[in-house]
């Protein structure tokens, strides 16, 4: 499994690049967090952390992903 991740103080949003099929839902639901490269059809993170206000986009992106490639989980403390 090939993954990349970004995080806030409390949570981590992880993208499984092997599952990502690049449907573009991320771009629609969380443009500040994720970008879709139309040449490779692959979603990538455009930031290394998100503010509390961006969390709504992170939650929506994880919920909307048709490939279940995004996972939002609590950080280990
Ligand atoms: S919604 Fe899922 S499959 Fe689509 S670009 Fe985002 S992570 Fe990839």
The helices-and-strands tally (H runs, E runs) of the chain is 2, 5
State the total domains in the chain.
1
CA–CA separation, 31 vs 42, rounded Å?
Answer: 14
In this structure, is residue 18 part of a structural domain? no
Domain span at 66: 3-13+24-74
pLDDT tens figures, 9-38? 889 999 998 999 888 888 888 888 888 887
**Which residue out of 67, 68, 71, 72 has the highest number of ligand 1 atoms within 8 Å of its CB and is therefore the one to mutate?**
67
* Domain contains 30: yes
Q: Is residue 7 part of a domain?
A: yes
22: left (phi over 0), alpha (psi -120 to 50) or beta: left
Other Cβ atoms less than 10 A from the Cβ of 62: the count is 20
In a domain, 43, yes or no: yes
DSSP helix/strand/coil, 40: coil
Q: Which of 25-29, 31-35, 50-54, 67-71 has the highest mean pLDDT?
A: 67-71
CATH number at residue 34: 3.30.70.20
């Amino acid at each position: 499994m090939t993954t990349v991740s970004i995080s806030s103080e409390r949570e981590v949003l992880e993208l499984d690049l092997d599952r990502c099929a690049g449907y573009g839902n991320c771009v629609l639901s969380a443009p500040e967090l994720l970008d879709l490269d139309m040449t490779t059809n692959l979603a990538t993170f455009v930031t290394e952390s998100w503010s509390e206000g961006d969390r709504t986009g992170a939650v929506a992106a994880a919920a909307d992903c048709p490939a279940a490639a995004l996972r939002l989980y609590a950080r280990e403390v």
